[in-house]
Structure 1
Amino acid sequence: MQVHSFLHSDTETYTHVLADVQKQVCAIVDPVLDFDAKSGRTGTTSVDEVIEFVREQGWELVYIIETHAHADHISGAAHVKELLGGQLVIGQHITEVQKTFKQIFNFDTSFRTDASQFDILTDDGEILALGDITITVMYVPGHTRADMAYVAADDEKTVVFVGDTLFAPDVGTARCDFPGGDAKTLYHSIKRLLALPDDTMMYLCHDYPSKGRKHCPTTTVAAQKLGNIHVKEGINEAEFVEMRERRDATLDMPRLIIPSVQVNIDAGHFPEPEDNGIRYLKVPINALGK
């Protein structure tokens, strides 16, 4: 098993490539599309670096895995699939997120809320095969209703892609104030992750390093239990929920939540062009945030 991580610097998001080198197959986890909110222009420079890496290795792309419908970056999954193929994977509870945001954005009846935009819908305990690597699905809601972690194992090691449930120990944990989020639920999801063996490598979806530290895509279960500022050992459920809810009340909405959510719940697809050939995204007024 190999894992290669690519930092999208604008959103501080990590895209990971998980590979069975012997079988020459791989999965891409959480690819990112470049997006300039000031101009509304998209780009593929960052995700093309990931695509070119996979091509250089000669690997077949089997899965494009989304840990959840991201609110801080636009998914590059559609671009990856167009160029490399692969099946697009997301947790089956994405349907709940689609229904919630279909109402917020007032999408018309053509918008599907059955998750049929995706290829594979995963549920807790299911297993995906990637060569000789088994990828076990772990349902970890709280940040959103649809978050999944993916535990990858072969004969040599076990790693887990945690999405937004956990960040580096000095950063803490995901916010829970989006529609469908819940701090108590997140606490129990995190406890499931921290029940993995201490030496399990955790691959992060984001890193927001404290001053003096460089970006890093990984941590371990042991490091989280010892030092996560929000949820290390000794912090109980009530303490976590009080901290998380108090902190969330002070946070602004993510910079790219409005374009990101409406694209990502549609499997990374932008709306169809209107009669002038231009695609448009909606901006709901006074519907999100405080």
Structure 2
Amino acid sequence: ARLTHVLITHAHYGHFGGAAELRERTGAKVGGPTLGSDILRDPYLEPGMRYNIQFNRYPPGFEAHACPPDFVFDDGETIAVGDITLKAILVQGHTKDSTCFLFDDGGKRGLFTGDVVFYGGKLGLLNLEGFSMDDYRRDIHKLTDLGVDMLLPGHSVFVLRRGQSHIRRAAHKLGDFVMPETFFETNEFMWERDYLKVMSE
């Protein structure tokens, strides 16, 4: 199979930093959210970049690479990739441009969630410019009745069945007065524990 499209869920460098090289190597078209396209063109505008530099999270000599998108998309637009059509769903909160992609394939419904919703209903909470709890509470309900089987987040494990239950749990947590669990508890450093838990269900 040939890579034809790279779709960026949101303009955080950890999610688009390699997109320009992928495009160069494969000829794939890169698409990104309209609301984050300024950062794709100049990654140093990304709010988290200065913190990652300040706390030495990048290796010595690090340089961020811009990736001007070949096309942009907005809430509700559809994107055809081979035999599959993905619907863009803007869910602001983690960032102003956070976008999920809904698709149907082989009798199952999947949702790429970027950093919006993770396994166990964990959320992409940040102490960072561009994050908004109010937006999260408002927009999470776009996802609560989609009938999702496969939940495919940008970090940690994929959920291949009953994905909708994880989304509903996230929405429930956002409706409570207690701070929800953050995705930092579901990041790459915790993947093994989460994977084993999913496999045992």
TM-score (norm. length: structure 2): 0.68
Conserved 8 A contact 2:20-2:67: no
2:164 paired residue number: 222
1:93 paired residue number: 35
1:194 paired residue number: 144
1:31 paired residue number: none
Aligned match for 1:80, one of 18, 22, 27? 22
- SS of the aligned residue for 1:222 comes to helix
Q: Deviation of residue 181 (structure 1)? A: 0.9
Q: Give the percent of matched residue pairs that are identical in Structure 1 and Structure 2.
A: 24
Q: Judging changes above 3 Å, is the alpha-carbon distance between structure 1 residues 102 and 72 closer, same or farther for their aligned structure 2 residues?
A: closer
- SS of the aligned residue for 2:138 comes to helix
Cα deviations across residues 155-187 of structure 1 (Å, max 9, x unaligned)? 622211000001110x71111422111012112
1:175 paired residue number: 125
- SS of the aligned residue for 1:196 comes to coil
Q: Which runs of 5+ in 1 are unaligned?
A: 1-58, 107-114, 208-215, 255-290
Cα deviations across residues 39-96 of structure 1 (Å, max 9, x unaligned)? xxxxxxxxxxxxxxxxxxxx12221111112254662112211111111011100046
Q: Does 2:87 align with 1:136?
A: yes
Cα deviations across residues 126-183 of structure 1 (Å, max 9, x unaligned)? 11112221111101110011111111224622211000001110x7111142211101
Q: Judging changes above 3 Å, is the alpha-carbon distance between structure 1 residues 124 and 73 closer, same or farther for their aligned structure 2 residues?
A: closer
Conserved 8 A contact 1:136-1:152: yes
Range 97-106 or range 118-127, more displaced:
97-106
Cα deviations across residues 184-218 of structure 1 (Å, max 9, x unaligned)? 21123322122211x421101112xxxxxxxx222
1:152 paired residue number: 103
Conserved 8 A contact 2:74-2:90: yes
Cα deviations across residues 227-272 of structure 1 (Å, max 9, x unaligned)? x4xx354x463x25x515xx78xx9xx9xxxxxxxxxxxxxxxxxx
- SS of the aligned residue for 2:88 comes to strand
Compare the two structures and name the one with the higher helix fraction: 2
Q: Distance in 2 between matches of 1:236 and 1:148?
A: 18
Aligned match for 1:205, one of 150, 154, 173? 154
2:59 paired residue number: none
Conserved 8 A contact 2:150-2:158: no
Question: Aligned ranges for residues 239-278 of structure 1 at < 5 Å?
Answer: 239=176, 243-244=179-180
Q: Distance in 2 between matches of 1:123 and 1:173?
A: 22
Q: Deviation of residue 100 (structure 1)? A: 10
Compare the two structures and name the one with the higher strand fraction: 1
1:25 paired residue number: none
Alpha-carbon RMSD across the aligned residues, in angstroms, is 3.3
2:8 paired residue number: 66
TM-score (norm. length: structure 1): 0.49
Q: Distance in 2 between matches of 1:154 and 1:86?
A: 21
- SS of the aligned residue for 1:188 comes to helix
Q: Distance in 1 between matches of 2:70 and 2:171?
A: 36
Conserved 8 A contact 1:68-1:91: yes
